[in-house]
A and B are shown apart, each in its own frame.
Chain A
């Protein structure tokens, strides 16, 4: 049973976010990772590390993450690891860029049709747009994904 006092927060903490926040998927180190990168938000202490295994076609074959953080950042990382497998680096980056627009503005009207399906799954994260200090929670894992794809090893979201 959910406390009624926080009903107005249902826009931010939708069931999918609470679920992925409580039970993050692919929340483990990937031993045979081809790429990895740490993401770090020095303002709030959230840290995440993203691991990628690439297929022979250079598409992402598997994505996992480690780290601790708030429900929003865990849910975003968890959803990411479900969404990016099967995609090329360019496709994954495009989804990350669309997610950042979504988190800042709540919508992504200009988002390319290629990312529409992914953004539909990520739509619950658009709730952070009303809480500017929480936007970086939603984007941290995606910054780390970018860094892993480009081989930088480290990203910050401030």
Chain B
């Protein structure tokens, strides 16, 4: 028996209570109750986020970091508290390692443009995987084409997992200086073995950037335990607003990097001869930031963390297991990928029915799924497909919604026979 005092098991999620916090879930679509299974594209917003943003505009709004007046000080305090929230969310060593960006795409572009141009030389290689979102492909292609770096692609197995043997082989010549991979695939739901990736990359002399857009919503992320060098996520998939995201980077890397955009808020002093940069993270935050969105992001992080990661993970694991069981029982339905470690994203095809037709028929029943290439065209092609339909789950998703999806999918197939 353990001598540690047993910590009280955290209660599971009260999904019905959670749903009442999301006003939009009471809406109807084409006369049917909304069944929102597209949270991996963007999650819905709880009242806590809506109220925080509206409250900021109604009671505490001014520009930040510059006004010597009460309103500006209050707004700065509220906005800057989002940095503390993001630090807590990621387990970062310092709040100064939290750089606010518009979204994951901007965060990755910032690293490619600033760190990539300053610290990669022509001939150095960037290693990504075959299951990246376009946002973690295109910036590295642009760097390759403009800066002369090489771009390597680690393949994905038929099961939808990163091919670790091939990954290691691609690191072997020591020319890879950055590994940039997703922490969880937005198509397959696969979690990549981030700690193993970091260990191998560091042994080979490469830094590691993890795209946490999906992962950060579903499980506890601790950047210090992961050991990575950059971690990027977006607010709107984490029940927060659009227009705000986070780039976390190790302090010494951020300190050494040149600015990304130039302008107000990122400088220490300006003369026509030369300007000096503000300290990190402000060096990377040119211009008036997304103040209201930052305040909304803090509310979203606080809201999510209050649910508890164990409870979130348990709920979503149960949903995913249920969905895999129900969907795979449908004749003619194939699920993409069968990774051991996977989260609440399920992509599938239905024999003889195109994904767009699936999505339109489900939409008529109030069910929102995504159909197409999910901003991951190379991955969809890897599996010999043109498109898939995708159902994705969140804290507010119910078992009954998954049952309804499964029933309707069986009918979709009958409709097209």
Contact = CB atoms under 8 A, between A and B. Distances in A.
A71 B411 CA distance: 16
10 contacts: A2-B415, A5-B365, A8-B364, A9-B415, A12-B360, A44-B371, A45-B373, A46-B386, A71-B353, A72-B357
B49 interface: no
A43 interface: yes
B242 to A, nearest CB: 19
Nearest to A43: B372
Given A2-B414, A13-B415, A45 B377 contact: yes
A71 B354 contact: yes
Interface of B: 30, 352-357, 360-361, 363-365, 371-373, 377, 380, 386-387, 408, 411-412, 414-416
B411 A6 contact: yes
Interface of A: 1-3, 5-6, 8-9, 12-13, 18, 22, 43-47, 68-72, 131, 134, 137
B360 A44 contact: no
Contacts of B30: 8
Contacts of B380: 45
Contacts of B415: 2-3, 6, 9, 13
Contacts of B416: 18, 22, 71
Contacts of A13: 357, 415
A14 to B, nearest CB: 13
B414 A3 contact: yes
A22 B353 CA distance: 9
A22 B412 CA distance: 14
B199 to A, nearest CB: 36
Contacts of A46: 356, 386-387
A43 B411 CA distance: 26
Nearest to A67: B386
A27 to B, nearest CB: 14
A3 B365 CA distance: 13
The 5 closest A-B pairs by CB, nearest first: A70-B354, A70-B356, A3-B411, A45-B386, A45-B387
Of listed A3, A12, A43, A47, residue having the most chain B CB within 10 A:
A3
